Amino acid sequence: MDREPPEPPENPEKCVGIDVGILTYAHDTDGTAVGSLDLSDERDRLEREQRTLSRKEHGSNNYEKQRRRVAERHADLRRKRRDFLHKLSAYYAREYDLVVVEDLNVKGMMESPSNSRNTASAAWRTFLSLIEYKCEREGTHFVAVNPRGTTKECAACGVSTDKPLWVREHSCPACGFEADRDANAAWNILSRGLEDVGVGHSEGTPVETALPVDTSVSAKRVVEAGSPTLKERTASAVSE
């Protein structure tokens, strides 16, 4: 049975746009830049176990024992990645009235030889699906917008400028607006989402008023605290 989506929120201050990427896993319009989860140690252990397995006689007891160890390493990788994605998606669904993301063609991106490894390891499809599911559970309005041009367009004036991937700053030649590349994309994503649900800006676009200072947050912090901010921990300390 299909459920009706929640009503669009009336308060634009509780809205967020999220841009997902490779160098920074998620960059939102509140200035939070969450780093990618470092699973290099887990991958190294998996590779060592796989090399050990390759040296065992296939079908022997030792082979079966080592095969189970390899499976355990695979499961450990999946568990840690899902834990990170669950906590990050739950934070956005819980903290905001409207969450806007890009409607990415992840399957098509994974088929591209240029970035298939990066895109697959980033698990964007899982992250975006979890946000949508948890927004529905929390009664938060979820919008997925057309991703075309979100990186190229200036969030302040709308002029499009080509940028190769290695250029990490947005600098508009038309209006002079400068911002982190992913922050600029996040604002474009939010603007498109607000248009889709018919919520207008209160006083101009966000970038015409003030941009928040970007705060870099490690994925480890998200895993340990369940949130990329100090808000919840501070609130609980005050209540105590």
- pLDDT tens track for 40-68: 899 999 999 999 999 999 989 999 999 99
Report pTM. Answer: 0.80
pLDDT digits (tens, 9 = 90+) for 63-105: 999 999 999 999 999 999 999 999 999 999 999 999 999 988 7
Quickly list DSSP for 109-128.
HHT-TTTHHHHHHHTHHHHH
Q: Give per-residue pLDDT as tens, 222-236.
A: 888 888 875 543 333
Question: Which residue's entry shows tokens 């975006």?
Answer: 128
Q: What separation, in Å, do the N-terminal and C-terminal C-alpha atoms of the chain show? A: 43
Q: Of how many residues is the chain composed?
A: 240
In this structure, what token pair is assigned to residue 28? Answer: 């939102």
Segments in 123-230 forming alpha helices (H): 124-138, 181-197, 206-209, 219-225
> How do the domains of the chain map onto residue ranges?
12-203+212-239
Catalytic residues: 19, 102, 182
Determine the distance from the C-alpha atom of residue 102 to the mean position of all C-alpha atoms in its chain, rounded to a whole number: 10
